[in-house]
Chains A and B, each alone.
Chain A
Amino acid sequence: MSRLADMVNLVTFLSANPGIPLRQAAAATNRSAKQLLKDLDRVLLVGLPPYDPGSYINVRLIGQQQEVHLLLSEHFSRPLTFAAQEAVALKYALEHFAPGADAESAGQVRELAQALGEALHGRARELLREKAPGFVTPPRTDRMRHMLGELTQACEARQVVELEYYSSHRAALGRRRVHPFELVEIGAHFYLFAFCELANATRHFRLDRIRSIRNTAARSTRKPPPRRKTGRMESLFEGKPKDKLVIRFSEQAAQEVADEWKGSPGAKVKPQKDGRAVLETPLFNHFWAIGYVMGFGEHAELLEPRWLRAELAQTIRKSLDAHA
Chain B
Amino acid sequence: MPGGIDKTERQLNLISALLKAREGLVWAEITRINGYDDAAAERSRQRRLERDLHDIADIGLMVERIVEDRQRTRWAIHRGSALLPSLTLTGEQRVLLFRIGMAYVDEAGALGRHLSTALMKLQAGAGRGAMPVELPPATIRRSLLRKPGEGAPLEAIVNALLHRRRIAFEYRSRQATGRRVVAPYALVSRRGGWYLLGLDVDRGAERTFRVSRIRGRVSLHTPRGKAPEYDIPAGFEPERSFSSQAFGSGEGAFRDVKIRFDAEVAFAVLNEFEGSYHITHAKDGSLVLHLPFAWPGELMNYLGEFPGHWQVQQPQDLRELVVKRLKASLKVLQGGAP
Contact = CB atoms under 8 A, between A and B. Distances in A.
A316 B329 contact: yes
Interface string A162-185: 000010100111000000111111
Given A97-B100, A260-B147, A82 B84 contact: yes
Interface residues of B, number: 157
A49 interface: yes
A313 B336 CA distance: 13
A89 B115 contact: yes
Interface string B113-142: 111111111111111110101011111111
Interface stretch (A21-29, A195-203, A214-222): A21-29
Contact of B333 (A94, A182, A301): A301
A242 interface: no
Contact of B308 (A28, A50, A208, A321): A321
B162 A89 contact: yes
Contacts of A33: none
B97 A89 contact: no
B132 to A, nearest CB: 9
> Looking at B105, B162, B163, which has the most chain A CB atoms within 10 Å of its CB?
B162
Interface string B277-298: 0000000000000000000111
A185 B141 contact: yes
Nearest to A248: B338
Contacts of B172: 255, 259
Contact of B142 (A97, A264, A294, A317): A97
A179 B168 CA distance: 47
A259 B210 CA distance: 10
Contacts of B158: 92
B179 interface: no
Interface stretch (B41-49, B51-59, B199-207, B250-258): B51-59
Nearest to B31: A49
A104 B129 CA distance: 24
Given A97-B142, A290-B304, A263 B60 contact: no
B180 interface: no
A295 interface: yes
B190 A185 contact: no
8 closest A-B pairs by CB: A291-B304, A318-B308, A295-B301, A231-B106, A298-B328, A89-B114, A294-B304, A155-B139
16 contacts: A4-B8, A8-B59, A29-B120, A30-B120, A48-B13, A49-B29, A78-B83, A90-B114, A119-B88, A141-B275, A143-B274, A166-B264, A187-B192, A248-B338, A276-B338, A321-B308
Given A49-B17, A296-B338, 11 more contacts: A1-B113, A2-B58, A27-B102, A97-B103, A100-B142, A132-B186, A293-B304, A295-B298, A302-B333, A313-B333, A323-B322
